[in-house]
Structure 1
């Protein structure tokens, strides 16, 4: 197992009485040195960094007057990811300055925050999880599946002509379901992060669009609370980054959620700055609230799941889980996140990460969801009646006709008996699952074997998606299903069939 000993630089320390000029000469002679430990009797008492000492190259003062007298110190045998997560939760600012590793209390070496952030936590497999963990995970998946059904049906009701009272009731149900959905997903994602299994799906994302979406997402909620939400993007309007925009939005959502919960009056400021570097785009996100002051002890636990926010408000648990998840996401993306008290009131949370620059095509905005270019007859395969009804409603929205099957066996028989333009296939089903059904359909004679198949699943990690595509599926749409994403997949599949037919 990796330990901190594998990450440190075993450089000779300096004494507290060493002159700043002498320590600066050490850094000047060794361009690779970023940190020097300060020790007394072989025990660490402080830490000094390269930039500070080089700026004090002519300063005769002793190092003890300028050193960080409260550095992070950890046993050299500690697991990097465990130490990192504890440091992020308790003292992220100290972590940004580096750490000292000790062996039996004696100085061994120094390590940088960059080296620690690059350390990967071992990924636990499902088989390695304890039974209780597996039970909680399965229960969470079931609860989320039913919550997705509630969300879809309330959305359908809100599109109908209801009385004002009925519409208010349905909207309240929808908002309550959404809040519970967010809480559950944060808990599930945090569990995945603790297992080292948090999945990322990186794609080009236009940063201006991301911030516009964030503003639209939260401005109404801020106004309802009597607050002002100020969002800003500082960067080239055409900058795009290769990132998981969903994960980045999770981070912003968590920070804004907490900020709105803490602020009683005034404004919450949200910003994203993008600057080009040799390694890619440097992204700096910032959320500043006008809430109450936090003691140093509470501020140190702001990224803990049951930290400073968790018990202060009715929404505290969700806020606490969100802050912990935000820290895990930024850490997993090799970034740094920190929180500090404002000079006046409130707290500012800042994160930084580097992402590859990307290019995206700018499309004209269109609020309407239009159907595919031609009518299609779709086979919906899912063992859950609610999921089938949701898929059927989407097909109706896109002017498509549909039939239903409850598992892979029924789907295979239906495809043998009649023509379908497209198949929407669930993965986990009794008798025959979606992967086995897809392989069986691909083995059929004639044109039925070429019917486009789109997977509908909550299991859309990159490894899972690769397996679905290798089995013969054409695309994957993640649950809960978004109409725009479903339409894009449906259009792409039908256009590919039309193009192949035209070329034949």
Structure 2
């Protein structure tokens, strides 16, 4: 007993074993943490109880039948990190092994196990209340673990117990303290890491839920706003196509401009939500750069000041067609051009397309918008790309705008693999440069783009003449306005108010089916998707009826779901009439009005030169929808009924 070297060696071997156990606990803590608390306590108790049992295999023979080891360390840590059940399970594993070893030290060992278990459970309660003093508590537990060991040795007799404790007590206390502090520190670090991971997972889930809630809210509010906006813009389109007095026409023009601004703001908010959540969808396809530049110049020349020249230029080395998302590229260019037109009062605005320097990923396409506007101060040039930020505090009051365009444009450019930079001299002008990966495309593969004619221009051509269209729309105002618009474009219209009525109408038409079905997606009785599936399930020709969604729900995610139901096209409200005409002409041949499906909604009209002449039923419906007073104010003498026959 006087030779302490073997004692020290055995104790350090015990500690090495405890370190292995701590490593095993660290590796298995993640799956253990996913279990219910009761099961977790049992698993931790089994792990540390097994460690205590192994420690007795390399114990120090202190006297015949009496062994000393560090079994108390895993027992203390089991309760401290696993709770009361872990301590009880660990003690239940250690005790039978000690009984099997046998000897005169069995009773002292069992007594010390009971005391250490109580100490372990007490340490667990202390850890729950002392978040900042846990290492001190672990060290104190290592020292206090000597108390049950000393009391257990006294069972052998007072003198003998004191003698045995004096021979190994100091080394054992140091070993227990080092074991509890050292291994406890490793376990604390592992627990803290796991807690941080849990908090991060919870924070990510909360962020995802909040983002989903925001997206759902925006999708819902988009639908709710687009629905009345469709009626407003539709009414304004119809009014602007009439021969109304100049005073009323100017009011219609102002109102249309305000409605378009409202729709642009709504679109910006939806785009901002999508790009911030990483849910922006891109549809790369061949883009005709000359057409893009020409359309942009044509669109913004009329908006620019009279003493501002708007020009465009494409470097001959740049391919005539490139692969890009045409909608997003046009959105970026229009945002930049819109700002240039808004702030430039004299001089020029130029949009140019050039080749950028080669990079590791290949050449870049550089689209630049230069202007001779007021310029942007150097300390504000980065801030203008932030959400709701503008160059100066008074900019919004003087020029209007929400401060979303540049933020969205930069995020879109980055989503497309590029970026936007700004070079500006205050008082001289600005140059915004969009850099995108250059992928040449075959100009022959550029898809045809619908025209941008106004309803008044389209009405004079009667592009939908000879087509019978089924319109499924549940909102009375929208159904009335859309019916009038389609009549003005030359179509015969059968309006219905829900999806089931649409299915019934298509089924009743039989082989003489409709040229086109315009289907709202959110309707009572039967929604649009269910109606589309029901029509596709009909036998014969009705199942092949072209169906185009016409909905205020503009989110790409929902659009993909709608198209999977069997749609042939997708249009959002407010209606892009040139696109609707293009889709109708592409999907449906000219055919005679379908009189079998439903009574015709048009009546004989005055063959005079004034267009359009609306049928009496539509005039009555519109007057009922708007009210007599608003109808008289809005429509004036421009809305004339046919002469009686």
TM-score, normalising length from structure 1? 0.66
Indicate yes or no: 2:549 matched with 1:455: yes
* CA displacement at 1:207 relative to structure 2: 0.6
Whole-Å separation in 2 of the counterparts to 1:338 and 1:124? 34
- Shift of the 310–386 alpha-carbon distance from structure 1 to 2, 3 Å rule, reads farther
**Larger radius of gyration, structure 1 or 2?**
2
Change (3 A) 1:245 1:218: same
Corresponding residue SS for 1:223: coil
**Preserved CA contact (<8 Å) 1:204 1:358:** yes
Do the aligned residues in 1 keep the contact of 2:418 with 2:436 (CA within 8 Å)? Answer: yes
The structure-2 alpha-carbon separation of the partners of 1:218 and 1:137, relative to structure 1 and needing over 3 Å to count, comes to: same
What corresponds to 1:265 in structure 2? 346
Count of residues paired in the alignment: 376
Equivalent position of 1:20 in the other structure: none
**CA distance in 1 between partners of 2:491 and 2:425 (Å):** 55
Matches within 5 A, 1:252-291: 252-273=333-354, 282-291=364-373
Q: C-alpha displacement at 1:495, in angstroms?
A: 4.3
**Structure 1 range deviating more: 205-214 or 144-153:** 144-153
After superposition, the C-alpha distances for 1:339-394 in whole angstroms (9 at most, x for unaligned) are 12238722211111024322344889987645568722111011223432443244
Aligned to 1:241, what secondary structure does the other structure show? strand
**Which residue pairs with 1:181 in the alignment?**
263
List aligned pairs for 1:76-475, cutoff 5 A. Answer: 129=211, 131=213, 134-223=216-305, 226-235=307-316, 239-273=320-354, 282-309=364-391, 311-313=393-395, 314=397, 318=401, 320-342=403-425, 345-361=428-444, 369=458, 370=461, 375-418=466-509, 419-459=513-553, 463-475=557-569
Distance 1:276 1:436, change over 3 A: farther
- Partner-residue secondary structure (3-state), 2:304: helix
2: CA distance, partners of 1:312 / 1:386: 39
8 Å contact kept, 1:258–1:319: no
Going from structure 1 to structure 2, the CA distance change for 1:190 and 1:465 (only over 3 Å counts) comes to closer
Q: Name the CA distance, whole Å, in 2 between partners of 1:219 and 1:381.
A: 39
Q: Which has a greater percent of helix?
A: 2
Contact 1:124–1:195 at 8 Å: present in 2 too? no
Tell me the distance in 1 between the aligned counterparts of 2:210 and 2:350. Answer: 43
Query: In proportion to residue count, which structure has more strand?
Result: 1
SS in 1 for 2:283: coil
Deviations 1:10-48 (A, max 9, x none): xxxxxxxxxxxxxxxxxxxxxxxxxxxxxxxxxxxxxxx
Unpaired segments of 5 or more residues in structure 2?
Answer: 1-203, 593-645
C-alpha distance in structure 2 between counterparts of 1:328 and 1:380, whole Å = 38
Mapping 1:21-36, distance limit 5 Å? none
Compute the displacement of 1:477 (Å).
2.7
2:585 is aligned with 1:491:
yes
Q: What secondary structure sits across from 1:221 in the alignment?
A: coil
Per-residue deviation, 1:237: 8.8
Aligned pair in 2 of structure 1 residues 266, 372: CA closer, same or farther (>3 Å)? closer
1: distance between equivalents of 2:316 and 2:552?
Answer: 35
In 1, Cα distance between the equivalents of 2:426 and 2:502? 64
Further displaced range: 421-430 or 371-380:
371-380
Please provide the CA RMSD for this pair: 3.5
Q: Which residue of 1 aligns with 2:635?
A: none
Inter-CA distance 208–138: structure 2 relative to 1 (3 Å threshold): same
- For 2:499 and 2:464, the matched residues in 1 are separated by 29
d(CA) in 2 for partners of 1:137, 1:462: 10
- Cα–Cα, structure 1 residues 339 and 319, in superposed 2: closer, same or farther, change >3 Å? farther
Q: Which ranges of structure 1 fall in alignment gaps of 5 or more residues?
A: 1-121, 499-504
Deviation at 1:182, TM superposition (A): 1.6
SS of residue in 2 equivalent to 1:485: helix
Partners of 2:289 and 2:365 in 1: CA distance: 10
Cα distance in 1, alignment partners of residues 375 and 224 from structure 2: 40
Which residue in 2 is equivalent to 1:41? none
- Cα pair distance change 1:374/1:300, threshold 3 Å: closer
SS in 1 for 2:434: strand
Distance 1:484 1:132, change over 3 A: closer
